[in-house]
Structure 1
Amino acid sequence: MTTPDATPFVELGDDVLTLRCLRPDDAPALLAGEDEDQVRWLNGGHRSEPARTREWIEQNREQWRTGGARRHLGVLHVATGRLIGTVEAHLAMPGAPTGAVNISYAVFPAARGHGYAACAVRLVCAWLAVATAADTALIRVDAANTPSVRVARDAGFRATGTDREGLVHHVRALRDAPHVALVCGPAGAGKSTLAHRLAALGAVHLSFDEDAWRLGHRTHPLPAHVADALHADLRTRLVALARQGRDVVVDTSFWSRASRTAYRELVRPYGVEPVTMHLATPHAQVMDRLAARAGSGPHDVLVPPDLARRHLAGFEVPTRDEGPLVVLRAD
Structure 2
Amino acid sequence: MTRALSTQPVIASGSLAGSSQPVLAAAGGLLLRPWEEGDVPGFLSAYRDEEIRRWHTRRPLTEAQVREWFEDHRRDWRREKGGHWAVTRDGGEMLGRIALRGLDLDDGVADVAYWVLPAARGAGVASGAVAALTTWALHEIGFHRLELDHSTRNTASCGVAMKSGYLLEGTRRSAAVHDDGRHDMHLHARIRSD
| Length-normalised TM-score, structure 1 | 0.48
The residue number in structure 1 matching 2:25 is: 13
**Whole-angstrom CA distance in 1 between matches of 2:35 and 2:43:** 10
Ranges of 4+ aligned residues in structure 1 off by more than 6 Å = none
Classify the secondary structure of the residue corresponding to 1:54: helix
Please list every run of 5 or more consecutive structure 1 residues that lacks an aligned counterpart in the other structure.
Answer: 178-331
Decide which of 81, 98, 112 is 1:69's aligned counterpart: 81
Task: Name the one with the larger strand percent.
Answer: 2
Classify the secondary structure of the residue corresponding to 1:8: coil
Contact 1:24 1:58 in 2 (8 A): no
Matched length: 170
Shift of 1:47: 5.5
1:1-331 superposed matches below 5 A: 2=11, 4-5=13-14, 6=17, 7-14=19-26, 15-34=28-47, 35-44=49-58, 46=59, 48-64=61-77, 66-78=78-90, 81-92=92-103, 98-164=107-173, 165=175, 166-173=184-191, 175-176=192-193
Shift of 1:39: 1.6
| Length-normalised TM-score, structure 2 | 0.79
**Whole-angstrom CA distance in 1 between matches of 2:89 and 2:123:** 11
Distance 1:99 1:9, change over 3 A: closer
**Whole-angstrom CA distance in 2 between matches of 1:68 and 1:25:** 25
For CA contacts below 8 A with separation 6 or more, give which structure has more relative contact order.
Answer: 2
Distance 1:36 1:3, change over 3 A: farther
The residue number in structure 2 matching 1:221 is: none
Please list every run of 5 or more consecutive structure 2 residues that lacks an aligned counterpart in the other structure.
Answer: 1-8, 176-183
Q: Considering only aligned residues, what root-mean-square deviation do their CA atoms show, in Å?
A: 2.2
The residue number in structure 1 matching 2:179 is: none
Contact 2:46 2:52 in 1 (8 A): no
Percent identity for Structure 1 against Structure 2? 28
